[in-house]
Amino acid sequence: MPTIDEIAKLARVSPTTVSKVLNNRPYVSQATRRRIEHVIAETGFVPSQWARLLSQRRSYILGLLIPYTSDQLFADPHLLEVMRGIEAAANRYEYNLLLSTARAPVEAASACTRLLRSDVIDGAVVVETQDLRAFAETLGDRPAPWVVLGYAPAGDVPAIHADDYGGARDAMHYLINQGHRRIGVVSSTPRPFALDERMRGLQDALQAVGLALDPRLVVLGDFSTVSGEHAGHTLLAHPNPPTAIFALNDRMAIGVVRAATARGMRVPEQLSVIGFDDIALATLLTPQLTTVRQPGYLLGETAAETLFALLDPQLTTPSAIIPTELIIRGSVQPPERG
């Protein structure tokens, strides 16, 4: 197996330049980078992770800490897209990813906290699915960095999140502009700060035109399709049911459509439905689901890039807020008159 010095000689560069390419560092021209990568591929060179660990005091492992059970995690298409983005960024920097989930719903984040306290990882991305103040208090003096994918529990913890407020405000504006005035909402509990921001956005949109959210038309689910279906039945059984329902994630919106179909109602002719996330299943409904797109892959990738910028100050820190976009499809139309 060739050494890094031998790779440098073959590529006609210094060992330092080879090291920069291996660690995906800047300040190497594209031509030089391609020449070094060609030599590496030709020789079959594999850098020693142990040597890198000893020389740089790094494990080259990132933690991905998600306070869900594994069943909850792998049932959530949006979170899987987030994971895909984090993994892609980790691969670019030659890092491995270590996933930690809660062992049971009641355990909350204790497994994640134990991992963050250890020396196994160089840093971590923590998905905000609950109040993370306990994390901040426990890990405030830990030297290794961590980034929240969501809303930060403290001002000194970097956080990456979608424009939840703006996305929900735009969705509610769209329903109002279509003529809807009696609008149901399916939220969730326990509720991460993202849903608080979505509730704030939709309420501000209503208030801007002199309307208020009817608390009797707010039903709580748990992000799942089944809970959305139950919420849909509850709202549609109301003596004066809504003409539109805004579910604060797509899976619950799909459940609302199922409830409407089971009650013999046509979407969107008799009920308009709008979601949030834009998961792949949104386009498989008939009609396709109007929703707010928050790009899961980009959210995960940006969170990881932020963490790498903390590990290497030479890297540029990306923007903390990812724009959302209202995706108009076929599940919303003006309400029936009569």
217-270 per-position pLDDT tens digit: 999 999 999 999 999 999 999 999 999 999 999 999 999 999 999 999 999 999
- pLDDT for the residue numbered 298: 95
Whether residue 303 contacts residue 149, with contact meaning beta carbons closer than 8 Å, is answered with: yes
- pLDDT for the residue numbered 175: 98
As its CATH architecture, domain 164-294 has 3-Layer(aba) Sandwich (3.40)
As its CATH architecture, domain 61-161+296-322 has 3-Layer(aba) Sandwich (3.40)
- For residue range 280-316, list pLDDT tens digits in order: 999 999 999 999 999 999 999 999 999 999 888 788 8
- Confidence band of 47 (pLDDT split at 50, 70, 90): low
Task: Tell which CATH classification among 1.10.260.40, 3.20.20.70, 1.10.3720.10, 1.10.10.10 matches the domain 4-47.
Answer: 1.10.260.40
- What's this model's pTM, rounded to 2 decimal places? 0.78
- pLDDT for the residue numbered 44: 74
Q: For residue 49, is pLDDT > 50?
A: no
Identity of the amino acid at 65: L
Q: Using alpha carbons only, how large is the chain's radius of gyration in Å?
A: 24
164-294 has the same fold as 61-161+296-322: yes
Whether residue 324 contacts residue 170, with contact meaning beta carbons closer than 8 Å, is answered with: yes
- For residue range 85-124, list pLDDT tens digits in order: 999 999 888 888 988 776 654 454 555 566 666 667 888 8
| Residue spans per domain, the chain | 4-47, 61-161+296-322, 164-294
Alpha helices in the chain (DSSP H): 4-11, 15-22, 30-43, 49-56, 70-74, 77-92, 110-117, 133-139, 164-177, 193-208, 225-236, 250-262, 296-311
Counting residues of the chain whose pLDDT is more than 70, the rounded percentage is: 83
Residue 78: helix, strand or coil by DSSP?
helix
- pLDDT for the residue numbered 73: 80
| C-alpha closest to that of 4 among 62, 38, 45 | 45
Q: For residue 46, is pLDDT > 70?
A: no
Q: For residue 203, is pLDDT > 60?
A: yes
- pLDDT for the residue numbered 89: 92
